[in-house]
Chain A
Amino acid sequence: MRVLIVEDERRLAENVARSLRESAGYAVDVALDGEDGLYMAQSNPYDLLVLDLMLPKIDGLTLLKQLRKGGGDTPVLVLTARDEKESIIALLNAGADDYVAKPFDLGELLARSKALIRRGKGHSAPVLRVGDIEINTSDLTVRRAGELVTLTAMEYRVLEYLAHRPGAVVSKTELLEHLYDFNWERFSNVIEVYISGLRRKLEDGSDTKLFHTLRGQGYVLRA
C-alpha cells in the first residue's frame, strides 16, 4: 500500500510517515505544500491520502475538492486543528472520508488509515483469508494453517496488496506503483523475487497453488 502525506510541518510529516512505514508496512510519500500534494495525488495511484488543511500554495480543502472533481477516489484522511462541527461537516461534504483532530494519537491515526485502506479495497475485516492463509493487517502477521510464517517487509507488502484484491489480475507495474515510494528505484524483476519467496513460504508442501502467474499480464492470488 502506498500513502501520500500532504503536510507542511516537516517534522509532523516525518513522524507520521515513519509510523505508517514501521507499523503498517506502507510505502509513504510526503508533500510539503498543497501544489506538490495535488500534483502527486493526481499522478500516482495512492491507496490513501493523509491531508493537512493549512497548507501553503493550495489549502487542504481546495486540494480535496479539486482531487474529487478530477475523479480521484483515493480515500482521504484529514488532519485538522479545527474540530468544530461545521468545519468537519464541510470536510466530509467536500469528499473527505475521515479525520483526526490535532494533536492526534498516532495509534488512532494508524488504525483509521488501515480501516480506510480496507474499505477502499472493499473489505471490512482486518484479517484477510486466502485458502489456509490468514493475513492479519492490524499486527502485520501471516499464518499458514494456524502456523506463524515469517515474511520480509517487502514480501508482506506484496502479499497484503494481492490479498486485498483476491482473484484479480495485478500487473507488475501496479505492484511497483503501490509498494514503493517516490524515492525508490523500481525494477520489475524484484517483484519476481518476492513472489518466489512467498511461494516458497506459503505454497511448499501443499497441493493448492496460491500465486498464479499470467504471462505478460501479472499475478493472481487465488485459492
Chain B
Amino acid sequence: MAKTSIQRRLIAAIVISQLVLAIGLIDVAVFVTRAQMRRAFDVALQGRAMSIAALIRYSEDESHKLLFERDLAPPPLERNVPDLYEVVANNRKLIARSPSWPQDYDVLPARGDRWIATYVVNGIPYRAIRLEHVPVLDREGDTPTTDFLTVTYASPATSVMEAVSEVLRYIAIGSVVLLAISGGFSLWALRRSLRPLSELADNARTISPSNWELNPPEEARDTLELEPLTQAMTSMLDGLHRAFMQQREFLANAAHELKTPVAILKSTLQSLLQRPRTSDEYRAGLEEALDDMARLEKLLHSMLRLARAEQWAAGNLQRDLAPIDVGMTCQLAIERLHSVAQQRSVNIDFAANDAMRLRADPDDLELVWSNLLENAIRFSPEGATVQMSMRTNNGNGYVEVADKGPGITPSELPRIFERFHRADSSRARDSGGYGLGLAISKALIEAYGGTIEPHSSPGEGTRMVVSLPV
C-alpha cells in the first residue's frame, strides 16, 4: 500500500486552493475589464455614429435631397482596418455607406432606437452600434424635419480584445509567479514545522534496552501538537521499562536459582559414574537423580506460577470467574496438609463465623492457604496448634493463619515476600522450599484486589492476615 504523506497532502491542498483563488481572480478581472472597455468603446462608437449623422445635410437646390459629406468622415479607429458605417433615411433610402461595407451585409434588422452588437466581418471582430430615429441636424431655420436617419457604425473590436487578453496575461503570469513563491514558502514552512516530529523520531530511535530515556528535543517539547504524542510515548516507555526490568530480574533470579538444582542433579549423576558400582548402587543413584529432578520440576512450576500470578496482579490478564465458597478452599488446603501436619504432630484448627463467597479461581485460593499453612506448620513447635480462621466484616473477607513458632524478626519481616527469600534456616532447603511460596501468595491475593499482612514478633508466633474484597 502506498504511504500517504501529510506534507504532500497539505502542499496539494494549499496549491489547489491558491489555484482556485487565482482562477476566480482572473475571471473577475477579465469580466470587469471587458465591461469597462466595452462601455468606453461604445461611447466612442456612439460619438462616431453621431458625427457621421452630422455629415448628412439637405441639398441646397429645390429637391431637398439628403446628401452625405463623405470627405469629412472621421478616420478609422484602427489605422489599417476601415470602419464600417451606413446611413438609411426613413428606413428605406440608403443615403451613405462606407466603401468597405461588405456586400452580403444588407440592412441589419432594426430593434429599438439604439442597438449594439458584435459580429465578424472578413475575419475581423467588429462591434457595431445602430442609432435610429436620428433627425437630420442640418436644416434651415426651425422647420421641423420629416426625415429621420438610421445610422449604423462598426469599428473593429480587436483593440478591446487585445487589451482584455493583455490583462488576462498579466494576471495569469502574476498568479503563476505568486503561486510558485507561495508554494515554495509553504513547503519550507511545512518542512520547518514538521521537523520536531522527525527529531522526535530520531530521539525515539535511540531507545534500547540499555537506554529507556525519551529525551525529546526542546522544539518537540514546545510544540503543542506533539505534546500528547510525547506524553503517550513517555508513559508507554515507563510501562515497558518496568515490565522489562521485572522480566529481566525474574529471568536473572530464575537462571540463578536453577543453577543449584541443576548442579545437584549433575553431581548426583557424575558421582554415580565416577567408579564402577553395583546395580543396587546404580538403582539408588538413579532414584536420587529422580528426586533431584522432581525438585527441579517443582521449582520450575513455582516460578511459572509466580510469573502468571504477577501478570494477573499487574492487570494484564482478565478472567471471567464465578463466585466460589472460600470456606471450601480452606478445608481443601487443610486436607492437603493433613499428613505434613501429622508428621510434625501439629494440629490445624479451623474456625469460620460466616460463609464467604467471592469471584476467584478456587485453585488459586487453595494454593495461598496451603502456602500459609505449610509455613505455619514448618515453624510450629511439635504438638502446637495452627489456628486458621475466616470472617467477613464491612465488605471485606479475612482469612488468618496463626502459628506459635519462633516469630519473625522486625528486620526480616519486610523481606519475607521477596522472591527466593528463605527463612534464615537450613531447614527450609531440606523441606524443599525455594522461597517462592509467599511471593506467589502475595501476587495471587493482589490479583484479586486483596492484601496480605504479616503480624509477628520474635517469641510470639506469626499471624498472616489475608484481606479480600467480597
A residues whose Cβ falls under 8 Å from a Cβ of B: 8-12, 15-16, 18-19, 22-23, 32-33, 54, 56-57, 79, 81-82, 101-107
CA distance A19 to B277 in the complex (A): 13
Residues of chain B within 8 A of A33, CB atoms compared: 425-426
Q: Collect the chain A residues with CB atoms within 8 Å of residue B259's CB.
A: 81, 101-103
Assembly CA distance A23 to B272 (angstroms) = 12
Closest B residue, CB atoms, query A79: B263
- Rounded to whole angstroms, the CA-CA distance of A82 and B274 in the bound complex is 27
Query: Which of the four size classes fits the interface of chain B?
Result: 20 to 34
Q: Which residues of chain B from 268 to 317 have a CB within 8 Å of any chain A CB?
A: 268, 270-271, 274-275, 288, 291-292
B234-293 residues with Cβ-Cβ distance < 8 A to A are 256, 259-260, 262-268, 270-271, 274-275, 288, 291-292
Is B424 among interface residues, defined by CB-CB distance under 8 A? yes
* Least CB distance, A209 to chain B, in whole angstroms: 35
B-side contacts of A79, CB under 8 Å: 263
Residue contacts A-B, CB under 8 angstroms, 13 given:
A11-B264, A15-B268, A15-B271, A19-B274, A22-B274, A32-B426, A79-B263, A81-B259, A101-B259, A102-B259, A103-B266, A104-B267, A107-B270
**Total CB contacts across the A-B interface at under 8 A:** 74
Q: Using A56-B424, A56-B425 as known contacts, say yes or no to A81 and B271 having CB atoms under 8 A apart.
A: no
Residue in contact with B429 in the complex, picked from A10, A15, A22, CB distance below 8 Å: A10
Chain B positions 387-408 with a Cβ under 8 Å from a chain A Cβ = none
Q: Which residues of B in the span 315-369 have a Cβ within 8 Å of any Cβ on A?
A: none
Shortest C-beta distance, A114 to chain B (Å), equals 14
Which residues on the B side are within 8 Å of A11 (C-beta)? 264, 268, 288, 291-292
Q: Which residue of B lies closest to A20 (CB)?
A: B271
Residues of the B chain whose Cβ atoms lie less than 8 Å from the Cβ of A102: 259-260, 262-263
Task: Please state if A10 and B430 are interface contacts (CB–CB under 8 Å).
Answer: yes
State the CA gap A105–B262 with chains docked (Å).
11
B interface residues with partner A (beta carbon < 8 Å): 256, 259-260, 262-268, 270-271, 274-275, 288, 291-292, 422, 424-426, 428-430
Q: Which residues of A contact B291 (CB under 8 A)?
A: 11
Please report the C-alpha to C-alpha distance between residue A12 and residue B263 in the assembled complex, in whole angstroms: 7
Are B429 and A19 within 8 A (Cβ)? no
Query: Judging by beta carbons under 8 Å apart, are B271 and A18 in contact?
Result: yes
- What residues of chain A lie closer than 8 Å to B270, measured between beta carbons? 15, 19, 105-107
Q: Are B288 and A23 in contact (CB under 8 A)?
A: no
- Chain A residues contacting B274 (CB-CB under 8 Å) are 19, 22-23, 106
In angstroms, Cα B271 to Cα A27, docked, is 16
**Across the interface, which residues of A come within 8 angstroms of B425, CB to CB?**
33, 56
A97 to chain B, nearest CB (A): 20
B271 and A9: CB pair below 8 A? no
Contact B264 A15 (CB under 8 A): yes
Bound-state CA distance A106–B292 (Å) is 16
CA distance A76 to B81 in the complex (A): 124
Known: A11-B288, A19-B271, A23-B274. A104 touches B263 (CB 8 A): yes
